Every structure is written in C-alpha cells, then in structure tokens.
Amino acid sequence: MVSEKEKMLAGELYDPADPELADERRRARELTRRFNATDETETETRESLVQELFGSTGEQPHVEPPFRCDYGYNIHVGNGFYANFDCVILDVCPVEMGRNCWLGPSVHVYTATHPLDAETRVQGPEYGKPVAMGDDVWVGGRAVITPGVTVGDGAVVAAGAVVTDDVPENTVVGGNPATVVEELDG
C-alpha cells in the first residue's frame, strides 16, 4: 500500500492530515522555531540547524531568520546559498536550488497546491509540483515562485514578480505573471 508521504512526494493527491506527515511538519516547526530564536552571533548554531532541517546543503548555507517551511527535508541547496529575512518554502515536493542561489527578503517558494475542482478541494486533499532553480540565480524581494516552475542558470527574478512559468537561463523576468524583460549575456 502506498503511504500518504509517498503520494505527496510523487506529486499525487494526498491527505495532509496523515499522522506521519503531521509529525514531520511538527519536527520542521520545532527546528525552525529554534533557528528563528537564535542570536545573530550564533552562526554555527544556525548553520547546524539549517543542515539538520534541509535535505542537503552545500557549504555554509546562510539563512536569515525568520524562516518557514513545511518539511525541510525536501529542500536541497548548493554552495553559496543565501536566503534573506522572512523566506517561506512550502516543500511538499522537492525544491532544488543550485550553487550561488540567492533569495531576497520575503521570497516565497511554493510546491504545494490544491485541486481546482471545488468539490474535491473542500474535502482536503493536496498535491505538489517540484521547483528547481539553477546555479547563480537571484530572486528579488517579495517574489513568488509557484509550483512546478524551473528557473534557469543565471536568471534574475525581479522583486515582486509572480513566476508561474519556467524562466529561461540568463534572463530577467518581472511582473505578474512574470515575463522576460531582458536577456543577459551568459
């Protein structure tokens, strides 16, 4: 029998009230609570907590509190990762971020989504779609990355953008919904 966690990770409809998933979310809340309560001088403690929370990290991941996520173990970041204040990552499916991926303040990354059909939606099932960001990506403050999006290497997401489609490498996107506003030299 397939577990609710296996369904979640596969991007299928799943029951978020499943006890195993509820326990894993509690674990993530506990780790983020401890992380968010650290003092700015506790850099080693912060790094250790991020490494315990995330599925994998490159060297010296830097996250500014406060930070929020659903599970943590679905977040994978490369060397040089930086997340500014108030970052939220809803990681019901994998969130892969390459090296030197920088998130500005209040960036939200969502893999979680809900059925469009109201009758199904109100019954409570959810599903997700993974998000991937390449190397050397910069996401400006208050931008939102929606489920299923891939952001190519060297791309820049302008502050406040709502990214609903894939972002080509070496481009700048902005607006709602985000569109390409500039091509960059690769």
- Looking at residue 179, its amino acid is T
Which CATH superfamily is 4-183 part of? Hexapeptide repeat proteins (2.160.10.10)
pLDDT at 169: 98
Q: What is the pLDDT of residues 102-157, one digit of tens each?
A: 999 999 999 999 999 999 999 999 999 999 999 999 999 999 999 999 999 999 99
Handedness of CA 20, 81, 83, 45 (dihedral sign): positive
User: Of the listed 62, 76, 108, 114, which one is catalytic?
Assistant: 114
| DSSP code of residue 167 | B
CA-nearest of 149, 151, 148 to 127 is: 148
Torsion of CA 2, 17, 130, 103, to 10 degrees: -150
Catalytic residue check, 62: no
Instruction: Give this prediction's pTM.
Output: 0.97
Sheet holding 102-103, edge to edge: 62-63, 82-83, 102-103, 138-139, 156-157, 171-175, 178-183
Q: Measured between alpha carbons, how far is 120 from 114 in angstroms, rounded to an integer?
A: 9
Q: What is the pLDDT of residues 52-103, one digit of tens each?
A: 999 999 999 999 999 999 999 999 999 999 999 999 999 999 999 999 999 9
Domain boundaries, the chain: 4-183
